[in-house]
């Protein structure tokens, strides 16, 4: 009788174990949206998803779907898809979109997931604080993934030709823009411009450095200091130190201009470094945007989110964790050169010995983000490029332009 009882108990336990395992391994599919700056990044994300699918051991299949960044319109595409009842389970994300998604109650609160997550401490606590601040609550809604600090790319050979050294102050930087604007073949025409200015969408990030360098900030764009920064930006264009196409130059144009030798300096982050080295080898380097009265550079942030509409939130978090501190973090940051958020990955030699990573780290202490308001996306996509284009064309003074930008961002 006793033996029968033991057998029965074992049979029940075995069945429970089988049920538990099968329940755990019930196949689930996670649709993940992301953007990629070039085909290599695109291929890497597909590989990361494939590797995760093969190794997670929990029956999770991630389908990674790529959408264009389109100067920030990605966030609006995602928003429309989710509001329309579609969209993915998880997505790459920018902090600036947090108010929009939070106001419409679309994001999953990650606090409970993070509390149970063994790798939580591999990410700097300050990053979680930034995520909380962006949501305007005490909760974390976005999962850190990687950061990019903007800095100045330059061509050492052109610096040598112009007799310019790496600028250490803001004034020296402005002077370098002037000296690097050259007629290199003696035909009487400028063929190298000192500064590859970005006047189209996304240009507000490098522009912000000029505002701060003069002692301004984003809280009040109408201060004399902020206006002086804007005037410097305008003067670079007006004096011919930036290509005439600058008002409409976006990411593709500034990179193409730099790579073709049309510009001697341009501002972007480490994400472009691999392509730069492919083009120039050792004839490309970088320096942190120099300080003047103040100092600021843009911290590009990329996070991941789980949408509330997802039916598989546990599995979705597994995937985000893989991207944040697992193999996905290393693979993505090695390919893109982005600054990892995982402290373990940061310590890898490939990051420690990278000259562009060093400049990124040098810029990190004064790197920041634009105010995250519900007006920010429209300000970035429409108001900033059109107002600055008018100012560059001389149709609007620096003071009027800043007044308009202030109104667009802060509403007054």
Partner 1 sequence: MHKKKFNPWPYLLIAPALITIFAVVFFPVLNAVLMSFQSYDLRRPSQIRFTGLANYAAAMHDSLFWQALLKTAIWVVVGVGFQFVFGFMLALLLNRKFWGRGVVRSISLIPWVTPGVLIGLMWRWIFDGNYGVLNDLLMRLGLIHDKIPFLAQQSTAFPSVILTIIWQGIPFFALMLLAGLQGIPEELYDAANVDGANAFQRFFLITVPSLKNTIFVTTLLRIIWVANSVDVIFNMTEGGPAYSTQTLSVYVFNKGNTLNLGYASTMAILLALALALVAVPYLKMLFKAQEESK
Which positions touch partner 1 (CB under 8 A)? Answer: 73, 76, 79, 83, 99-100, 103-104, 189, 199-201, 243-249, 253, 256-257, 260, 262, 374-375, 377-378, 381-382, 385-387, 389-390, 392-393, 395-396
Pairing mode, if any, of strands 151-154 and 285-287? antiparallel
* Nearest residue (CB) to partner 1, 99 versus 208: 99
Phi-psi category of 105—alpha, beta or left, where left has phi over 0 and alpha has psi -120 to 50?
left
* Nearest residue (CB) to partner 1, 253 versus 330: 253
* Nearest residue (CB) to partner 1, 126 versus 260: 260
Rounded to a whole number of angstroms, the minimum distance from the CB of residue 272 to partner 1 is 18
* Nearest residue (CB) to partner 1, 32 versus 268: 268
* Nearest residue (CB) to partner 1, 314 versus 374: 374
Torsion, Cα of 109, 115, 116, 119 (10° steps): 100
Containing H/E element for 152? strand 151-154
Rounded to a whole number of angstroms, the minimum distance from the CB of residue 382 to partner 1 is 5
Rounded to a whole number of angstroms, the minimum distance from the CB of residue 105 to partner 1 is 8
Give buried/exposed letters for 300-314 (b at 16+ CB in 10 A, else e): bbbbbbbbeebebbe
How many Cβ atoms from other residues are within 10 Å of residue 120's Cβ?
15
Give buried/exposed letters for 59-91 (b at 16+ CB in 10 A, else e): ebbbebeebebebbebbebbbebbeeeebbbbb
Could you tell me the CA-to-CA distances from 104 to 98, 100, 121, 308, 338 in Å, in that order?
10, 6, 30, 11, 30
* Nearest residue (CB) to partner 1, 105 versus 353: 105
Cα–Cα distance between 315 and 278 in angstroms, integer?
A: 38
Rounded to a whole number of angstroms, the minimum distance from the CB of residue 266 to partner 1 is 13
The backbone torsions φ and ψ at residue 33, rounded to the nearest 5 degrees and listed phi first, read -100, 145
Question: What are the residues whose beta carbons fall under 8 Å from the beta carbon of 369, sequence distance 6 or more?
Answer: 95, 96, 130, 298, 299, 301
**174's tokens:** 């402005």
If we measure between CA atoms, which residue out of 207, 302, 203 comes closest to residue 254?
Answer: 203
Question: What are the residues whose beta carbons fall under 8 Å from the beta carbon of 17, sequence distance 6 or more?
Answer: none
Rounded to a whole number of angstroms, the minimum distance from the CB of residue 373 to partner 1 is 9
Rounded to a whole number of angstroms, the minimum distance from the CB of residue 199 to partner 1 is 8
The β-bridge partners of 61 are 29
* Nearest residue (CB) to partner 1, 386 versus 397: 386
Rounded to a whole number of angstroms, the minimum distance from the CB of residue 83 to partner 1 is 7
Rounded to a whole number of angstroms, the minimum distance from the CB of residue 149 to partner 1 is 27
* Nearest residue (CB) to partner 1, 208 versus 243: 243
* Nearest residue (CB) to partner 1, 146 versus 377: 377
Token pair 């579609």 in the structure block, residue: 86
Question: What are the residues whose beta carbons fall under 8 Å from the beta carbon of 356, sequence distance 6 or more?
Answer: 151, 270, 273, 286, 337
Rounded to a whole number of angstroms, the minimum distance from the CB of residue 81 to partner 1 is 13
Rounded to a whole number of angstroms, the minimum distance from the CB of residue 23 to partner 1 is 37
* Nearest residue (CB) to partner 1, 89 versus 253: 253
């Amino acid at each position: 009788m006793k033996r029968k009882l033991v057998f029965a108990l074992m049979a029940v336990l075995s069945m429970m174990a089988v049920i538990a395992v099968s329940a755990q391994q019930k196949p689930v599919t996670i649709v993940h949206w992301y953007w990629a700056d070039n085909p290599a990044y695109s291929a890497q994300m597909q590989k990361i998803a494939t590797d995760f699918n093969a190794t997670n051991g929990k029956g999770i299949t991630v389908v990674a779907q790529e959408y264009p960044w389109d100067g920030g319109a990605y966030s609006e595409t995602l928003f429309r898809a989710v509001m329309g009842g579609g969209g993915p389970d998880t997505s790459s994300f920018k902090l600036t979109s947090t108010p929009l998604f939070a106001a419409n109650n679309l994001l999953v609160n990650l606090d409970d997931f993070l509390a149970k997550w063994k790798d939580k401490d591999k990410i700097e606590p300050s990053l979680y604080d930034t995520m909380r601040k962006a949501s305007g609550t005490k909760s974390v809604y976005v999962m850190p993934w990687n950061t990019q600090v903007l800095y100045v790319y330059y061509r050492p050979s052109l610096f040598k030709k112009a007799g310019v050294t790496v600028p250490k102050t803001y004034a020296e930087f402005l002077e370098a823009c002037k000296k690097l604007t050259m007629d290199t073949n003696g035909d009487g025409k400028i063929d190298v411009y000192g500064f590859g200015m970005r006047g189209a969408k996304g240009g507000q990030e490098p522009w912000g450095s000029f505002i701060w360098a003069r002692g301004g900030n984003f809280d009040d764009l109408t201060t004399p200091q902020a206006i002086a920064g804007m005037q410097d930006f305008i003067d670079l264009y007006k004096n011919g130190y930036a290509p005439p196409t600058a008002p409409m130059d976006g990411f593709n144009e500034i990179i193409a201009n730099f790579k073709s030798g049309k510009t001697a300096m341009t501002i972007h982050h480490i994400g472009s470094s691999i392509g730069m080295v492919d083009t120039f080898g050792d004839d490309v380097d970088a320096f942190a945007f120099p300080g003047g009265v103040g100092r600021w550079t843009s911290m590009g942030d990329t996070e991941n989110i789980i949408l509330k509409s997802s039916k598989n939130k546990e599995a979705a978090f597994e995937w985000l964790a893989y991207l944040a501190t697992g193999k996905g973090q290393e693979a993505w940051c090695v390919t893109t050169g982005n600054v990892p958020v995982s402290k373990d990955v940061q310590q890898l030699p490939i990051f420690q010995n990278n000259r562009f990573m060093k400049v990124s780290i040098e810029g990190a202490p004064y790197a920041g983000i634009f105010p995250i308001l519900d007006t920010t996306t429209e300000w970035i996509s429409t108001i900033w490029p059109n107002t600055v284009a008018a100012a560059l064309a001389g149709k609007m003074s620096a003071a009027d332009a800043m007044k308009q930008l202030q109104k667009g961002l802060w509403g007054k």
